[in-house]
Amino acid sequence: MSGPAIEPLSVPGSWVVTPPQFGDDRGVFLESFRGDLLAPHVGHRPDIVQTNLSVSAAGVLRGLHFADVPPSQAKYVTCVSGAVLDVVVDLRVGSPTFGAWDSVLLDDADRRAVYVAEGLGHAFLSLAGGSAVMYLCTAPYAPGREHGVDPLDPELGIDWPTTDREGRPLTPILSEKDRAAPSLAEAREAGLLPDYAETKQFYAGLAAQ
């Protein structure tokens, strides 16, 4: 059985993983996560300690979320049903790509996944009703160290889709918390964002374990 194709995104610390699928008249089988094969790219084998599942109506926009480093929370994200546009943003102050973003279509056809390292921001927009997104996380949820940035901030300029999977118009639906999130500039001024040098030290520590 061949392994997945693992390619870096334009935001350092994030990768898109495309697994081979094996289908017959019964259906499809695939290995949705291979930590041993991801490890050479990430620099260490991700220690998955929590799995989350969200189900979203078309137009739901979740994010842009990140957590304090350390320990933050790396995520391995896939869409097991439906379709979402998954977005990764570099929120590490001092990074050469600070403020840059990249996106990947995650759906139940290609069954790609995205690995999001600690210190990066993550968001997605649901493109179909009942889109189910699975997150494998390297740290448990901790409200006191979880933060957000406005995913519609013009400074970020994320190119969110305006139509769903079937071409119907979409209007972003955000939670009250996400709607009230600060802009990138406000989050930076408030000292909420991860520091690039500290994040690199954290990555080095994980690789040494």
Q: Which residues contact 166 (CB under 8 A, 6 or more apart)?
A: 128
Task: For the beta carbon of residue 85, count every other beta carbon within 10 angstroms.
Answer: 20
DSSP state of 180: T
pLDDT in tens, 68-88: 999 999 999 999 999 999 999
Q: CA–CA separation, 66 vs 51, rounded Å?
A: 16
pLDDT at 2: 78
Among 55, 10, 11, 14, smallest CA distance to 38 is for 14
Reply yes or no on whether 44 is catalytic: no
- The catalytically annotated residue of 65, 115, 196, 203 is 65
Reply yes or no on whether 135 is catalytic: yes
Q: CA–CA separation, 13 vs 119, rounded Å?
A: 9
pLDDT at 209: 81
φ and ψ of 181, to 5 deg: -65, 150
**Residue ranges of the chain with pLDDT lower than 70?**
1
DSSP states along 128-194: STTEEEEEEESS---GGGEEE--TT-TTT-----SB-TTS-B---B--HHHHTPPPHHHHHHTT-SP
- Name the β-bridge partners of 126: 84
Give pTM, 2 decimals. 0.96
pLDDT at 1: 62
Residue found by looking up tokens 């069954």 in the block: 111
Report the Cα–Cα distance between both ends of the chain, in Å, rounded: 29
Give SS3 for 206: helix
Among 75, 120, 122, 92, smallest CA distance to 198 is for 92
pLDDT at 51: 97
pLDDT at 208: 87
Domains identified in the chain and CATH numbers: 47-197 (2.60.120.10)
- The catalytically annotated residue of 76, 115, 122, 135 is 135
Among 69, 87, 62, smallest CA distance to 192 is for 69
Q: Evaluate whether 106 touches 78 at the Cβ level (below 8 Å).
A: yes
